[in-house]
């Protein structure tokens, strides 16, 4: 089907947007991986420091809209519960 193929940018603006999107995608991927790593660490070993680091990264990611703010809040809530169980 024609709509499943990747279309090549035609205008200069579209080419620039594609370059910008690739750059932004790389930056967002780095942030998402870091968030996932910190959250995983906090779940495995729920210490005050590990949860604090995860909270900081989640807040930064939500502020930049890399992660949806509601997802960040939900994850923070679940991590806080882990700390209270301990």
Average pLDDT over residues 57-62: 97
**Residue 59, domain member (yes or no):** yes
**Residue 17, domain member (yes or no):** no
Cα dihedral 20→61→50→40 (10° resolution):
-70
Element (H, E) at 79: helix 69-85
Q: Write the DSSP assignment of 51-72 as a string of letters.
A: HHHHHHHHHHHHHTTSS-HHHH
Q: Which residue has the tokens 């169980």?
A: 85
**Residue 77, domain member (yes or no):** yes
Look up the domain containing 69 and give its range. 24-85
**Residue 7, domain member (yes or no):** no
**Residue 16, domain member (yes or no):** no
Task: List, for residues 15-58, the tens digit of each pLDDT value.
Answer: 999 999 999 999 999 999 999 999 999 999 999 999 999 999 99
The reported pLDDT for the residue numbered 4 is 57
Count: domains in the chain? 1
The reported pLDDT for the residue numbered 22 is 93
The residues, ordered by sequence, that sit 6+ positions from 72 with a Cβ below 8 Å of its Cβ are: 58, 59, 61, 62
The reported pLDDT for the residue numbered 6 is 67
More confident residue, 7 or 64: 64
Confidence of residue 83 (pLDDT cuts 50, 70, 90): confident
Residue pair 31/64 in contact (Cβ under 8 Å)? The answer is yes
**Residue 5, domain member (yes or no):** no
């Amino acid at each position: 089907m024609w709509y499943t193929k990747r279309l090549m940018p035609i205008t200069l603006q579209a080419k620039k947007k594609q370059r910008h999107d690739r750059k932004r995608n790389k930056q967002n991927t780095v942030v998402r991986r870091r968030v996932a790593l910190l959250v995983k660490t906090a779940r495995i070993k729920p210490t005050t420091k590990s949860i604090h680091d995860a909270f900081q990264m989640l807040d930064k990611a939500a502020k930049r809209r890399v992660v949806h703010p509601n997802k960040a809040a939900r994850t923070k809530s679940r991590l806080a519960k882990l700390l209270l169980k301990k």
